[in-house]
Chains A and B, each alone.
Chain A
Amino acid sequence: MTLAVARAMVRGGEALTIMTPTSDAGSRANALDLRGITCTFPPSGKGEKPYTAVRDVNLTLADGEFVAIVGPTGCGKSTLLNVAAGLLPANTGDVRIFGQPLIGINDRAGYMFQAECLLPWLTARRNVAFGLELRGVDTAEATRRADAWLARVGLSGFEDRYPKQLSGGMKKRVALAQVLVMEPKILLMDEPFSALDIQTRQLMENELLDMWSADKKSVFFVTHDLEEAISLADRVVVMSSGPATTPVAEFNVDIPRPRDVTEIVQSPQYLDLHRRIWEILKKEVLKSYERGKTVAAS
C-alpha cells in the first residue's frame, strides 16, 4: 500500500495526492490485495509483439471499502478485475483475498461484467436464480429470492422475459441482481451502469450504496464517469494510459455519508475533487488518444 501511494505521488506529479490512512489496518486483512501485477497478452498474429496491458500494479481494497477505478479506455481496467476475479492468471505478482493467496476462481467475489453475460435461454427470474441453484438452494427459495432482487432493481413484472426481450439497461439490471443475490463479500463491477439513463442510473447507484452500507461489502468499481466515481467511492484510483498501465494517483473522497448521488454533485468538496482528478485523468486520456492516432497512422 505504502509503495503504491509513494509511486502515485511520484507519477501524480504536481497533483496533490491524498494518502489513505491504511497503515494501521495491519490487524485486519484487506479484502483484496493486488501486488506487483503484470499482465502480458500473447501476440495476436505473426509479426506482432506481445502486449503488456498492465505492469507492476499495486492496488488494495480494504474490508468494507468502496474503490472506484477510472482511466482511459483500453488501459487495462477490465484486465485487473479479471485478475482479481481469478479468471485471468497474472504473469507476475500475487493476489490475496482476505490475506489468503488466490488460487483459481475467487469465490468470495461477485463480478458484474462489462459485456453481456446473461444466459439467453433463461428468463430474467431463472437467470437471477441461476447462481443460487448452482449452490444447491432449492428452486422455490431461489425463485423467491430472485423475485425479491428483481423488484429491488426495478424489474418486477419482467420476471418471465428472456434477455432478448429486455432493453440494454434492463439486462444490466438483471445482471446486477444476478450478482447481488449471491451476497458476495467482494463486488467487482465493470462499468455496471453505463448503459442506463441518468435517472435509472442514480436510482441504481443509491440502491448500491444502501446495500453496500447495510452489509459492508468491499467494492471495486470501474467506471468512465468521474462524477459516478466521486459520488460513490471512498477512494478514486486513476490509471495511466496503456500499454503497461499502472495507477498514477489516488484520491480520498471525504464527503460524508450517507450520500445521495443526486445532491452530492453540488457540494464544493465534490467540485474541488472533480477538478483535481480530472486534471490528471485528462492528461492520461489525451495520451491514450494521441497514441491511438499514431498507431492508426503508422
Chain B
Amino acid sequence: MTLLTLEDVGKSYGAVQALSNVSFQVGPGEIVGLMGDNGAGKSTLVKIIAGVFRQSEGTMRFQDKEVHFHAPVDARKAGIEVVHQDLAIADNLSAAANIFLGRELHRRIAGFRWLDHAAMAKRSGELFNELKSETRPGELVRRMSGGQRQAVAIARTRLADAKLILMDEPTAAISVRQIAEVLALILRLRDAGIAVLLISHRMPDVFDVCDRVVVLRRGRLVANKAIASSSPQEVTGLITGALETA
C-alpha cells in the first residue's frame, strides 16, 4: 500500500504555472524530504495535499483511493495534518487555544456546550511533554520564542490520529538546539508509524532524518532518490540546476 500518490499534479495561479506534472509517492511511516529553491513550488504542493487549494491538473490518491479535498477540514478528516510555513497560529491566543482551534473540547452545562478549559490545558501539557518542549499551555503565543511557536504548531498535528504530517520549513528561524528537537520529534513520529513530508532548505535536516528526497525546480520534479544513494552535493546541484536530473 502507498499512503499518498500524486500523479501529474499541476497548479497555476493565473498566468504563473507554479507546478507541472509532479508525480511521486509517500509510503506509510516514510520520511520524505521535499527540497527546492525559493519559489520552486514546495508550499504550493503542500497546500494542495492539505486541501487549501485544488490542483489545476492531475490526480491525488490517499490510501489508494482518489481524493478531492475541498477544504483543509477534508484533508484533516482523511488523516493529513499540516505545519504551515508561517505556522498559521493566532498570536493573541494561548498555546492550548491554538492547539485546539477549530476542534475545541466541550462539556455540557445547563444544556449548553461550554469550552472545557481544564481538559484542553491538560491535553496540551501532555502533548508538550511528549514533544519534550518547554512550553506552557496557558502562555500567550505572542510571548513565545520561535521554537515554542513551532512546538505549538506541531502539537496541533498530534491531536488527531494523523497518518501523514506535512511540515513546511519547521526548522527555519529557530535555534540549533531547537532544530535538533524538531528533528528528534520527526523521528518519533516515524516510530509511531506516521509518514512525514518534510520541506526544508537545510541539507543536514534532510540527510539526518529522511528516507528519500524529492527535488522540485521551477515547478517540476527533477529528482526522487533514496537518501542512501544520494549526497548533499548532488542534491544541491539538482536544486540549482547545475545537474539537470538524477
A and B held together in a complex: no
Residues of A within 8 A of B (CB): none
